[in-house]
Homo-oligomer: A and B are copies of this chain.
């Protein structure tokens, strides 16, 4: 199992636009990508510009296929211009 936390720092005034695109990504990923156990969008309670996608994948292969998929590439292409600064992506294994 691979757990992913993809944390985005979005420009003020661009959060709604990001949320719309990210929700579409959540929808299409859940529909199309095999091996996807969990793929969810979250917003920080104290800073609405912090928008994070938390994911769980059966294995690295499933995650790699997702990141090569058309819908992922097209939808995340919009993220860069909405970002205030580079995000952080961590791939985790569960210890306990």
- Contact: A41 with B3, CB < 8 Å? no
A74 is an interface residue with CB less than 8 A from chain B: no
In residues 25-65 of chain A, which contact B (Cβ within 8 Å)?
Answer: 26-27, 40-46, 50-52, 54
User: Chain A's interface: helix, strand, loop or mixed, by majority?
Assistant: strand
B96 and A52 form a contact (CB under 8 A): no
Please give, as numbers and ranges, the residues of chain B lying within 8 Å of A83 by CB-CB distance.
none
Considering only CB atoms, which chain B residue lies closest to A23 in the complex? B96
Complex: A42 Cα to B90 Cα, angstroms? 10
Q: Give the number of residues in A that approach B within 8 Å (Cβ atoms).
A: 27
Q: Are A94 and B3 in contact (CB under 8 A)?
A: no
Report which of B3, B5, B23, B95 forms a contact with A19, defined as CB distance below 8 A. Answer: B95
The 5 closest A-B pairs by CB, nearest first: A42-B92, A41-B96, A23-B96, A41-B95, A45-B91
Q: A44-B92, A52-B92 are in contact. List 11 more A-B contacts (CB 8 A).
A: A2-B45, A5-B54, A19-B95, A22-B95, A42-B93, A42-B94, A43-B93, A43-B95, A44-B90, A45-B91, A45-B92
